[in-house]
Amino acid sequence: MAIKENKFSQFLFREVSILPLIGFRIIFGLTTFLSTFRFILLDWVNLHFVETKIQFKYFGFEWVPLLPEFYMYVLHGIMLLASIGVFLGAYYRIASIAFFICFTWCELIDITYYLNHYYFVSLIAFLMMFLPANKAYAFDAKKQQSKSCPTVKSYMLFLLKFQLILVYFYAGIAKINYDWLILAMPLKIWLPANSDMPILGSIFTYETTAYLFSWAGMLFDIFVGFFLLFSSTRIWAWLCIVLFHSLTGYLFQIGVFPLVMTFSTLIFFSNQFHLKFIQFFARFIPFFRFEPNQERITQADNKLFIKLSLLIWISFHLLFPWRYLLYHGNHLWTEQGYRFGWRVMLFEKAGTATFYVFDENTQREGVVVNSDFLNPHQEKQMAMQPDMILQFAQFLKKQYEAKGLKVNTVRAEVYVTLNGRPSQLLIKPNQNLLNLTDTWASKSWIKPLEN
């Protein structure tokens, strides 16, 4: 029984070349390998997961356990192997699942280290588990020639492209705010701090430069993803991406993210491009030379299931970043609904949080020295994020009760500066933080941002 399919459905299930997906697999495997390798090399496994006294938990993911030192290294070891597996298309299903689990696990241990690009990698890793990226030019394809295949369904590439455009587009939308466009903040602070950069450094001291970069950055983010879609603008858009990420990568301490985005966006390029790209690697990796079985027809899909899944996935990702609208106050200040919204390098913010612990036994209130319990990164992040402040208060209660104190009251004086404004109180200094719990509800105990 043939039901006439609408155009969109036809588009989704059209057979297209597998080449861009293979190119993407290679890039994803390589960049995640590099990222993990760098993480280990910089001793961050140790600094983030071993030498810490507290982990700040993600709301809803408090159950994700920190493992003993040895096993944290094992997790990272598995990630290294898994990323090589993804790169080679070897034992791909296991490798991609292992990578997703280990990577996301490590991310969910401590919210201190939350970065949008880690969230991005987690999402891509999740999608990669379901995509047949080992059906050609892969160790698996060579091993099981009968299962190899030159095509994939169009929706598979569409989904990855959607995810990439989403990052840029929402990062651009997020820049449409008063501080970014009208005050040119935080670039007015960040650019002069880099005035020692060769050639460009000298113009970073002009205020006009901050305005131009702010507006250009906003327009770039909003449009560049769409320009990647059209063959006539693609190469120019990508060159802009290279320029943009090279610059931000040089200016800011942002790790491997510029690399990840610059190369991931190659997925928009033509089949011929990807063929050449794969052939380059085939010089060193023999089974990349192996052509897929041309006759094999991909299996029939459960189209309804796939369409439904796509609908849910895409709706979620389109809507979730907007949840901040449901909360009171300026989200740059309160950070309610701020994370998981592609708000990248959006503000300059810092805080000083002083905690006071009241001991019922002695009726004395003591001042906490945060660095006794937190590493510098944790201290910095906690001092400006309300949910982390609550968690730290609970931690202090436990910590001091173990020392024999009786603690029913922990309060904090938290001064935060946002985009160069004079610092002001983030929460009421007399609020007993132990009486509060973190929920989805609006945090009425956060003081509104003034001016």
State in angstroms the smallest separation of the CB of 305 from other proteins.
Answer: 35
The 9-48 contact track toward other proteins, x by CB under 8 A, reads: ---------------------------------x-x--x-
Q: Specify which residues 153 forms β-bridges with.
A: 15
Determine, following the binding rule CB under 8 A, whether residue 415 of this chain makes contact with other proteins. yes
What span, in angstroms and rounded, lies between the C-alpha atoms of 218 and 169? 9
Judged by CB under 8 A, the chain residues 417 through 446 that form the site for other proteins are 417, 420-423
> In this chain, which of 252, 281, 340, 445 binds other proteins, going by CB under 8 A?
252
The answer to the question of residue 173 lying near other proteins (CB under 8 A) is no
Beta strands at 349-359 and 15-17: parallel, antiparallel or unpaired: unpaired
Q: How far apart are CA 121 and CA 129, in angstroms?
A: 12
Among 107, 335, 348, 387, binds other proteins (CB under 8 A): 348
Closer residue to other proteins, CB minimum distance, 254 or 275: 254
- Least distance from other proteins to the Cβ atom of residue 261, Å: 8
Residue 219 engages other proteins in binding (rule: CB under 8 A): yes
> Among all chains, which residue has been given the structure tokens 């060193």?
284
By CB under 8 A, name the one of 56, 137, 238, 257 that touches other proteins. 257
Q: Return the ∠ at Cα 333 (arms to 329 and 335), rounded to 5°.
A: 85
354 binds other proteins (CB under 8 A): yes
Give the tokens for residue 179. Answer: 């501080």
User: Could you say whether residue 223 binds other proteins (CB under 8 A)?
Assistant: yes
Closest CA to 20 of 279, 275, 295, 280: 275
Residue range at the interface with other proteins (CB under 8 A); choices 49-57, 128-136, 199-207, 307-315: 199-207
Does 258 participate in binding other proteins (rule CB under 8 A)? yes
Query: For residue 425, what is the DSSP state?
Result: E
| CA–CA distance, 444 with 421 (Å, rounded to integer) | 22
> Of the ranges 102-110, 196-204, 304-312, 317-325, which one interacts with other proteins (CB under 8 A)?
196-204
The answer to whether the CB of 207 falls within 8 A of the CB of 188 is: yes
Asked if 189 interacts with other proteins (CB under 8 A), we say yes
**Pairwise CA distance, residues 399 & 369, whole Å:** 13
Query: In the numeric block, which tokens belong to residue 246?
Result: 């090279």
As a whole number of angstroms, the distance between CA 255 and CA 259 comes to: 9
Q: Does 300 engage in binding with other proteins (CB under 8 A)?
A: no
Least distance (Å) from other proteins to the CB of residue 14?
24
